[in-house]
Amino acid sequence: MFDLNETIPQKVFVAAKKRIEEQLLWFLEHLKDLDSISSLKVKLSADGTNVGGNFKIVNFTFTILNEGDRAKASSGNYTLGLSKLPYIRLEEPFKYLLEQIKDFTQLEFKNRKFDVKFYFCSDWKLTATALGLNAATSGPRLERTDSRTTNEYNWKKN
């Protein structure tokens, strides 16, 4: 049923573009009025979960925002992949997902083309990771030391 991508160590992902495309086609097939929408809106998200003890996973999902109330429920969230890496090492799965969807801008269904728009939504830690930013508590600390002779402040890395 799913094509798994085994090239990302410590992670399991389906073929993201194919999975999203199949779900969008299913949605369009069951939509009563195709004229009611002009674009398909897909929200990508990720969230960490403590499974137990020291075992944590990150779940990468997508939601079709056009599904309305279903998009707000667990039945409207579709899994793309799981990772057991810490947040600071999630750059590779994010790159994989972006590579999969970068050219996925339109979908054809019944001789009609729909624009596909992607959005990303997550908590602040994963959003910072997706943007390539470090957590507020990471990296070198800066300490202020005052110079008694000039009354200026010097900054040094610790």
pLDDT tens-digit series, residues 84-141: 877 767 778 888 888 889 999 999 999 999 999 999 888 777 777 777 776 555 665 5
Over residues 40-51, the mean pLDDT reads 87
Q: Which of 40, 15, 43 is nearest to 108 (CA)?
A: 40
Question: What proportion of the chain, given as a percentage, has pLDDT over 70?
Answer: 74
Residues contacting 104, CB < 8 A, separation 6+: 17, 20, 21, 116, 118
Residue 10: pLDDT band with limits 50, 70, 90? low
Classified as helix, coil or strand, 124 is: helix
CB atoms within 10 A of CB 63: 21
